[in-house]
Chain A
Amino acid sequence: VIDMTSDLTIVIFQAGGADGLSMCVPYDEPHLQASREMTLIYPPGEGPDVPGEGPDESREAIHIADGWYDPTGTFHDNQPFGIPKSMAALKRLFDGEDEEPCILGQCFPGGLAFVPGVGAVYSLDFNRSHFEAMKFVEFSPDGDNIQSTGWITRLLQDEPGNSPLAFAHAPLRPDSMRGASKTIATPSPQTFAFPTELSPGLETEQDFLSTSYGRLDQEDPLLIAWNDTRASFDSLAAVDFENYTTAADLAGGECDYPASPLGQALKRIAAMGSHPGPEFELRVAHAVVGGWDTHSDQEVFDDGSGEPRNMHDKLVDLSACLCALWDDLKRRPRKFNVIVMTEFGRRTSENGSMGTDHGTGSCMMVLGDCIRNGRIYSEGWTGVPDPTVAGSEDLPITTDYQKVIGEILNKRYGVTVHGPGSVFPDLAAPDFLGIVV
C-alpha cells in the first residue's frame, strides 16, 4: 500500500518508436558516423563544413557525459555521450542546480538522467512490430505470457483513496492502465462534469446509470469505467485548472509549459498532481506524444529554412515540456518522477529517405527531485555494432526497461517489483541501476 505522501509519477510515452540514438547520442561511434548522413548528429566541434562558413554547429551534439555508470556504481569512461541542439534546454536539468536539497539524508540536487540501449528484451521475437512491442512494454511479460493488466494497474491495485489515482490525458487509456480501477482517461479533465440533471441534487439520472451499469459483471470494463467516472466528478471539479499558475512563474523559473498539445496536457496533469486534496491524490499520470515513427523526415537539426523539421521540432517541444515540469514541480512540496519512454528504438543505419526503420534498443529519460542526475546509466553498454554485418543492424538492448521503472516504483513507492505476483514478475532480482537516490 502506498503512503498518502507519495510521489507523483508522470509517464510521457513517445508513440511510434523514438530514435534513441538521436536523443542520447554516442557521438564518437564510428559505426554510427559511417551509417548515417542526413540524420547524423556530429561530435562537438566537428559539424559538417558549410562552404565559406565553417562547421555547421546546429548539427553538432552538446557533450553531457564522458561515460556511463553500471549497477555497481562503477564509472566507465569508454563512451562519451551528447544530446542534440534541439534538446539544449535539458542541459541545465542534467547538470543540476546549484542548491542541493537533502533527500532521505543524502544530498543530491535531483534532475535528469539518461538510459541508452534500453528496451524490452522479450520483444525480439516479434518482427519489430509496433503493436507487439507496445504490448510488451505496457503489459510486460510473466514467463511466456504477456500479462492481462498494465504495469500501472498492478502498481495501484488495492490502493485506497478517491478516484482518480491514475489519469491518462487521452480519450482511451494506455495498455499500462488496462484493468485498473480509480482510473480516468479523458483529453479534457477541465470539463469533466455530468450534463445538467433535470432534478438537481436528487441525482436520479446518475443513479439510473449506476443501477444500469451495476447489472453488468463485476469485472466488466464498462461498469468499472462508469463507477470511476461518477466517483471522479467531485475530484476533478475541485481542481482549479483555469487559474493553475506554475511555480515557475511564481519563483522566476526559466521554463513555462509550451502551448503545444503535450505542453497543455502536462500543465493539466501538474494542476491535478499538485492539488492539495483532500478530494483525491493523483499518483500516476500518462500523456502520449505521437509522431516518432521516423521512417522519413528524421531531421534532427534546424537547417534555418523556417520549414518544420520533424524530429527536431518534436525534441524541442519535449525538452521544453520537461523543463517546464522541472521548474514547476521541483518548487512544490510533493516529490515527483517523470519517465520518458517509447516502444522500441530505430535501426542504426539511415534509409534512403532521411529516416530509419524499426529497431530495438532505444533511450529512456528520467527526471525528478530524487533522481541521481547528471549520469548515463546502463547494465552494460556495448556500443554501436557494425550495421553492415548481417544481424547487427540494431542498437543492442543492454538494459531492461523494467529495471528503470521498477527502481522508481520500488524506491519511491516501496512496492515489490520483482518475482511472482509483483509489478514485474519477470524481473529476477532488484539489482537496480542506482538512478534513484
Chain B
Amino acid sequence: MKAGAGGAAAASVMALTGRHALAQGGTPPIDNMRFLINRATNGFSLAEYDYALGLDPDPDVAYDMWLEEQLDPDGLVGEDWQAWEDTQFCRFVDIDPPNGVFVNTGLHCIAQMTPTEIVDAYAPGTYPPFFYTLMRSYRAIFTRRQLEDRMIQFWMDHFNIDAEASAQWYLLIPFYRDIIRPNALGNFKDLVVAMSKSSAMLSYLNNDVNVAGAPNENFAREVMELHTMGVDCGYVDTPANPGGTSDIKELAKLLTGWTWETKHSSGSLGEFIADFDPVTGTHDPSTVPLWSGFGYSRNYTADTTLTDGEDALRTMAGTACTALNIATKLVRHFLTDSIDDPQVFANVIVPVGIKFRQSKGDIKDTLRELFKRSRIASVDPWNKPKFRDPFHYLTGAARALQIPRPATLEFDYGVLNVRYLRALGEVPQNWPAPDGPPDGPSDWADGLLQRAIYAYNLTDNMITGLSTSNSVLGPLLGSQLSELAQRFNLVLTGGSLDADDVTEAQAFVANNGYSGPAIRRMIALLLTSASYQQMRG
C-alpha cells in the first residue's frame, strides 16, 4: 500500500462518513462495532453499523446495547419479518408441475403448515424444500433478528438433516420452525432433547426404526459423536474395545421406541411417539450401562419411561467434551478460522466453553461470553480472519448493498440466490451427511469462480428478487468519484478490505471512465477480491 495515497483517501472518506475507522495500509485498527456487525449478522451493512453506534454516545455502551437487543429479538423495533413471511409464503401453488408455474391462490401457507397439511397440498418430494431455501435466504438477508438468524443457521448445520432424505420434504419446514427457531437462543440441553424427539431427526437418523432386540445405532452414534461429545471424548465402540461394552450400542438400546406418527390419516402426522407399551411396544427397558470408561458413568435400570433417555441426552449435552465441541464450533462460526491457534484456544475457546458449561447450556450467556469486547484483541481479526462460507457470502453481499426487501415475492427456479447457492455447494439443508457443511477456507476454496459469477450477476442487476437498480446503488456511491473504491470498502466491510485491493479497484474504475457498468464491475471485483472472502474487521 502506498501510505500517502491511503492516508489521504482515509481522511476524506472519514470526512464523508463522520466516524468510521478505516484501513490505513497494513493492519487497520480494531473497530469493535465493525467487528460485531461483521460477525454477529448475516453480513455487514453500513445502515446497521450506524444504527448500532447511534444507540449511545459511548461506543462501548452502544456495543453492549446492540448485542442485548439482538439477544432479545422480540423487542426489536420495526421487525416485521414474520408478517412478511406469512403473507408471501401463503400465496403460491404450482399449477404446472414440474415446470414450476406459481399462482396466487391465497392458500397453502407453507410457513405455517403442519406435516399433514404439507402432504395434502404438495406432490411428494416437490416444492417444500425449495420454499425452505427461499425462506432461509430471505430471512437471513432481511430480518432484523440477525444474531438469532446466524444461530439458527448454526444449529441447522449442527443438527443437520438432508432435505432430500425420505420424509424430509414435509418434515423439514416444521423442524426449522418448531424445533430449531424457538430454541436457537434458548438452552442447549432443551434443544438436544427437542431435536432428539423431532420427527425430522428421528426419520433422518433412523431412530424411528430403532427397536428392541435389533437396535439401529445410527442416531445414537451421531448424537454422541456429532451433536454433543465428539469422537475423541472417551466413549467406546467395539472395534476399539473388542468384546467389551459399546456405548453406542447401549445408548441405542436406551433410545429404542422413540419414534413418530407416520400415519397420514391420524391427523397428527409427524408427532413424537414413545412406543413404550410393555406388550406391544418397541422399547427395550433393560439395564443399560453407559460411559463406564470415564467420568460420566451411568447405569440406567429398567427404564419404562422417557426419563432415563432424556437424562442420558442431557448428561451428554452437559459434558466438558460437549462444551469444548460447541465452543470450538461457535468460535469458528463467528470469530476466526484459527481454532488451532494457542492464543485463540486459551483466551477464546476455553472461556466460552466454560461459560457454556457453567450456564448449563444457556445459549445467550454463551454468546455474551463469545462477543465480550475484551476478547476481540485475542482474536486478532486482521491476522486470524474468518472465511465467509458460501451462505454468508451470498447474504453478506446482498446486505452490504442494502438491497430492499421486495414488496411482493416473485420467483421461479432461478430466483434470488438459490441457484447460486447450488453452484457453490451450500444450499441450506442440502448436505447429505449428518456432520453438516464444513466451515473454512480450504473447504470452500474451489468455489471462487462461482463467487465471481454471483457477484457479477448481482451487481449487473440480473438476479430476480435482489434488485441492484440505480436507485438501490445510487445512495451508496458517496460524493467523490476519486474516493469510490474506498467508499465501497466502507460499504462492504466497514473499511477492512486490503488497502491495495482498494487502490487497484479505484484504478480500474478510473481507467474505465467511471461508467455505470465500470462502477458495477468495480463493486463485483471488490466482492470477489481475496480480502472480501475473509472477514478481517
Contact = CB atoms under 8 A, between A and B. Distances in A.
B425 A126 contact: no
A359 B122 CA distance: 38
B446 A171 contact: yes
A212 B239 contact: no
Given A208-B505, A213-B530, A198 B217 contact: no
A194 B449 contact: yes
Interface stretch (B361-369, B396-404, B486-494, B521-529): B521-529
Given A199-B512, A222-B530, A355-B206, A209 B525 contact: yes
Nearest to A208: B525
Interface string A207-221: 011011101100011
A8 B151 CA distance: 45
B508 interface: yes
B307 interface: no
Contacts of A351: 214-217
Which of B457, B508, B512 is most buried by chain A, counting CB atoms within 10 A of its CB? B508
Pairs A-B, 8 closest by C-beta atoms: A171-B425, A352-B214, A353-B209, A391-B242, A225-B445, A185-B446, A391-B243, A295-B218
Interface residues of A, number: 62
A173 B425 CA distance: 11
Given A212-B498, A357-B217, A188 B529 contact: no
Contacts of A173: 446
Contacts of B205: 295
Contacts of B534: 222
A357 B238 CA distance: 12
Nearest to B282: A352
A125 B517 CA distance: 58
Contacts of A131: 225, 231, 435
B221 interface: yes
Interface in B192-242: 205-206, 209-218, 221, 225, 231, 235-240, 242
A192 B452 CA distance: 12
Interface of A: 15-16, 124-132, 168, 170-173, 178, 184-188, 192, 194-196, 198-199, 204-205, 208-209, 211-213, 215-216, 220-226, 229, 290-291, 293, 295-296, 350-353, 355, 357-358, 360, 390-391, 393-394
B406 interface: no
Which of A15, A196, A295 is most buried by chain B, counting CB atoms within 10 A of its CB? A295
A352 B211 contact: yes
A87 B221 CA distance: 31
A16 B433 contact: yes
A198 B216 contact: no
Contacts of A225: 445-446, 448
B432 A290 contact: yes
A127 B448 contact: no
30 contacts: A124-B240, A129-B225, A129-B231, A171-B447, A186-B450, A187-B423, A198-B512, A204-B511, A209-B452, A212-B504, A212-B529, A221-B445, A222-B533, A224-B445, A225-B445, A226-B448, A290-B432, A293-B433, A351-B214, A352-B213, A352-B215, A352-B216, A353-B211, A353-B214, A357-B216, A357-B218, A357-B221, A390-B238, A391-B243, A393-B238
B449 A192 contact: yes
Given A15-B433, A204-B511, A358-B221, A125 B445 contact: no
Interface residues of B, number: 65
B222 to A, nearest CB: 9
Nearest to A310: B166
A54 B209 CA distance: 31
B215 to A, nearest CB: 6
Given A195-B457, A355-B206, 18 more contacts: A15-B432, A127-B231, A128-B221, A131-B435, A170-B425, A178-B442, A186-B450, A194-B449, A194-B452, A205-B525, A209-B529, A212-B530, A221-B441, A222-B534, A290-B433, A295-B206, A296-B218, A358-B221
Contacts of A187: 423, 425
B535 interface: no
Nearest to A232: B449
Nearest to B444: A172
Contact of A212 (B235, B441, B456, B501): B501
Nearest to B224: A127
Given A198-B512, A222-B441, A352-B211, A394 B239 contact: yes
Contacts of B133: none
Contacts of A124: 239-240
A405 to B, nearest CB: 22
Contacts of B517: 198
Contacts of B508: 204-205, 208
Contact of B231 (A126, A198, A226): A126
Contacts of B236: 127
Interface in B496-510: 498, 500-501, 504-505, 508
Contacts of B218: 293, 295-296, 357
| Majority secondary structure, A binding face | loop
Contacts of B235: 127
B97 interface: no
Contact of A222 (B216, B239, B448): B448
Contacts of A226: 448, 530
Contacts of B500: 211-212, 215
A213 B452 CA distance: 13
A15 B186 CA distance: 34
Nearest to A173: B446
Contacts of A350: 214
Nearest to A177: B446
B438 interface: yes
A127 B433 contact: no
Contacts of B448: 222, 225-226, 229
B167 interface: no
Which of B235, B239, B525 is most buried by chain A, counting CB atoms within 10 A of its CB? B239
B23 interface: no
A119 to B, nearest CB: 11
B445 A296 contact: no
Contacts of B225: 127, 129, 131
B291 to A, nearest CB: 13
Contact of A353 (B216, B444, B450, B530): B216
Contacts of A222: 441, 445, 448, 530, 533-534
A216 B530 contact: yes
Interface in B438-477: 438, 441-450, 452-453, 456-457
A296 B205 CA distance: 9
A13 to B, nearest CB: 12
Contacts of B348: none
B409 interface: no
B248 interface: yes
A187 B446 CA distance: 11
Contacts of B433: 15-16, 130, 290, 293
A360 B248 CA distance: 15
A289 to B, nearest CB: 10
Contacts of B452: 194-195, 209
Given A187-B423, A198-B512, A205-B521, A172 B238 contact: no
B216 A355 contact: yes
Given A127-B248, A290-B432, A184 B446 contact: yes
Which of B215, B235, B433 is most buried by chain A, counting CB atoms within 10 A of its CB? B433
A209 B528 contact: yes
Contacts of B242: 390-391
B42 interface: no
Given A16-B433, A212-B501, A391-B242, A172 B216 contact: no
A171 B518 CA distance: 30
Nearest to B240: A125
B488 to A, nearest CB: 14
B531 interface: yes
A399 to B, nearest CB: 17
A350 B213 CA distance: 11
Given A127-B248, A221-B441, A296 B209 contact: yes
B442 A221 contact: yes
